[in-house]
Amino acid sequence: MPTSLVTGGAGFLGSHLCDELLRRGHRVICVDNLETGTLANIEHIRDQGFIHLNLDIIEPYYVEEPIDFVYHLASPASPIDYLRLPLHTLKVGSYGTHHTLGLAKKHRARFLLASTSEVYGDPQEHPQRETYWGHVNPIGPRGVYDEAKRYAEALTMAYHRQQGVDTAIVRIFNTFGPKMRPHDGRAIPTFLRQALQNRPITVFGDGSQTRSFCYVEDEVRGLIALAESGYHYPVNVGNPDEYTLLELAEAVIEVTGASSEIVFEALPIDDPQVRQPDISLAREILGWEPTIDLREGLRRTIEQSGRDNLSGGGT
């Protein structure tokens, strides 16, 4: 029975990954200090093969028992969180990634870094392929997240090339599903919360900027397929169906049956104009592609979360 360690395992994506690894018969060690995650995401797990260690990975840490896979997901991920925690975000991407790579090295485990489409910045190439080096503002407010992830990618390749660690890098594009926090500031939970309260839906800018949304079940399947492959270079894992933010707002209104109007707010600094993964590489080397489209994913999110939980009880 393989053992997987998941940093950030009590977060949105990490907790779905823990569930799926357990379902596939792994033992799972979840390392999470609950900075942006919550015990509520993992408290349903009754499996004997699951443990949660409340550790801050910015400090050196060690785990005695043998580990086969390390999934390194710990990092604030929503703009609301990383703008509130700029130094923490830089430290978790740097020290936290060093410590976690060191752990993978000691255990001779396969290491997977959860990187992000944000390494492409406000892209000048569309759709984004893994060979594109990106267009990032290092000194803007979002730089703390984007550059932490770019540094973590460089570090991962250095541990691979110099230290012989078996590493992989996944560039995750916007992912959604149950367990997203209604107030975490990302578009889908915000729009769902507003629609389920029949309040106005707040779209940034004129809503013409695009995003591509992957349902969490598809994303998790892609992460595991990459971890179980022998590939070392970055791979995009996301849904290539591209929507403008205005189209997303309309889809949310349609699926929820809300009577909300759409209102427009100022665009955040350095908000990327377009976002769409080219997933040819994932198709070719992993045989992976998403199967759940936006509207179906929204329906599943509402069904599994419950309307009351998604509406968040506030504005």
Residue 14 in contact with ligand NAD, rule: CB under 6 A: yes
Q: How many C-beta atoms lie closer than 10 Å to residue 230's C-beta? A: 8
Selected from 10, 18, 282, 302, the binder of ligand NAD by CB under 6 A is 10
Selected from 35, 147, 153, 278, the binder of ligand NAD by CB under 6 A is 35
Kindly compute the dihedral angle of the four CA atoms of residues 56, 46, 183, 258, in this order, to the nearest 10 degrees: 160
What is the Cα 82 distance to its own chain's centre? 13
Minimal distance in Å, beta carbon 92 to ligand NAD? 4
Q: Which is nearer to ligand NAD, 79 or 140 (CB)?
A: 79
Selected from 8, 143, 222, 297, the binder of ligand NAD by CB under 6 A is 8
Minimal distance in Å, beta carbon 180 to ligand NAD? 8
Residue 114 in contact with ligand NAD, rule: CB under 6 A: yes
Minimal distance in Å, beta carbon 258 to ligand NAD? 23
Residue 121 in contact with ligand NAD, rule: CB under 6 A: no
Q: Which is nearer to ligand NAD, 187 or 258 (CB)?
A: 187
The count of residues interacting with ligand NAD (CB under 6 A) is 30
Residue 92 in contact with ligand NAD, rule: CB under 6 A: yes
Catalytic residues: 145
Report the alpha-carbon distance of residue 214 to residue 174 in Å, rounded: 6
Selected from 33, 100, 190, 197, the binder of ligand NAD by CB under 6 A is 33
Selected from 56, 146, 217, 278, the binder of ligand NAD by CB under 6 A is 56
- Helix 97-107 × helix 143-163 angle, to 10°: 30
Residue 116 in contact with ligand NAD, rule: CB under 6 A: yes
Q: How far is CA 10 from CA 42, 82, 146, 259, 305, in A?
A: 6, 17, 22, 34, 16
Residue 217 in contact with ligand NAD, rule: CB under 6 A: no
Q: How many C-beta atoms lie closer than 10 Å to residue 40's C-beta? A: 10
Nearest to 17 by CA among 6, 33, 1: 6
Backbone angles phi, psi at 3, to 5 degrees: -110, 130
Selected from 19, 32, 146, 278, the binder of ligand NAD by CB under 6 A is 32
Kindly list the residues in this chain that would bind ligand NAD in the complex (CB under 6 A). 7-8, 10-14, 31-37, 56-58, 73-77, 81, 92, 96, 114, 116, 172, 174-175
